[in-house]
Structure 1
Amino acid sequence: MNIVKRRNADFPSIFDDLFQTDWFGGIANSNTHVPAVNIKETTDEFTLELAAPGKAKEDFELSLDHDVLTISTEDKKEETTTEENYTRREFSFSAFKRSFKLPQTVNKEHINATYTNGILNVTLPKREEDKVKPKRLIEIS
């Protein structure tokens, strides 16, 4: 979905990448450091796989506000070393936030998440009435 209308198709707008979204409603990756997300759909559920190695499950915050699922993490490290003639202070900060507008077919009461080997897996089960039913034959009486 491209929000910016181009006047000249040969001259790309700098806003094109900024306003593009992926099919699930999250902001598309550009040149920022945002973990990649794989989205898979089966007949029973959607699965989000987010690659975030080096984290612990406690580092993640998942929240659901109406139809928007937000995954975020924040990491702060600070180290101070004082020796006889010098003091060294180093710090780093990293954070990301991904938000996804969920389809109406998701059963929001049964969303769950696991974090294993650097991959955050979020399972979004479909509502029973929205699951694809197998084809069946109807007898003629």
Structure 2
Amino acid sequence: MARWFPEFARDLMEPGHVGQMLPRVEEFVENKEMVVRAELPGLDPDRDVEITVNDNSLRIRAERREESRDDADGYRTEFRYGLFERIVPLPAGVNEEQVRASYKDGILEVRVPIDEKRAEAKRITVER
């Protein structure tokens, strides 16, 4: 029982560990941009990462493929393989046409400009 407890506790504490895996993210606003940074080490952003924006949400989807190690004696891995997906709600007023992304040192950074004028609530007059 003591051997499996650390893994069981990790399953409860880590987001996305059970079932679909979620990359860890940090979100903040900087210079009128929503910035979302995701930990995605060991991936090729051209091949393994897909980013979409619609309906005021940002979707980061990635897949880490397991390399075949059939010839390795005593091979074992603790790496996580498979599909990773994270959906981040975006604030009102985002400019979806000017979203940009970069990848460096295993960190994916997505910048979404926020148009303050678009974010303002519009008052609707009730007709009689």
Q: Same fold (TM over 0.5)?
A: yes
Task: Give the structure with the larger helix fraction.
Answer: 2
% same residue: 28
Structure of higher CA gyration radius: 1
1:75 corresponds to: 64
Q: How does 1:25-104 map to 2 (within 5 A)?
A: 30=15, 32=17, 33-58=21-46, 59-79=48-68, 81=70, 93-104=81-92
Q: What is the RMSD of the two structures over their aligned residues, measured on CA atoms? A: 2.9
Taking the aligned partners of 1:34 and 1:66, their CA distance within structure 2 comes to 20
Taking the aligned partners of 1:36 and 1:80, their CA distance within structure 2 comes to 28
Task: Give the structure with the larger strand fraction.
Answer: 1
Taking the aligned partners of 1:42 and 1:125, their CA distance within structure 2 comes to 9
Unaligned 5+ runs, structure 1: 1-17, 19-28, 83-91, 132-141
Taking the aligned partners of 1:56 and 1:63, their CA distance within structure 2 comes to 17
Q: Tell me the secondary structure at the aligned position of residue 54 of structure 1.
A: coil
Unaligned 5+ runs, structure 2: 1-11, 72-79, 120-128
Q: Render the CA deviation track for 1:29-72: whole Å, top value 9, x for unaligned.
A: 63614221111112411111111111111210011232221100
In the alignment of these two chains, the number of paired residues is: 97
2:97 corresponds to: 109
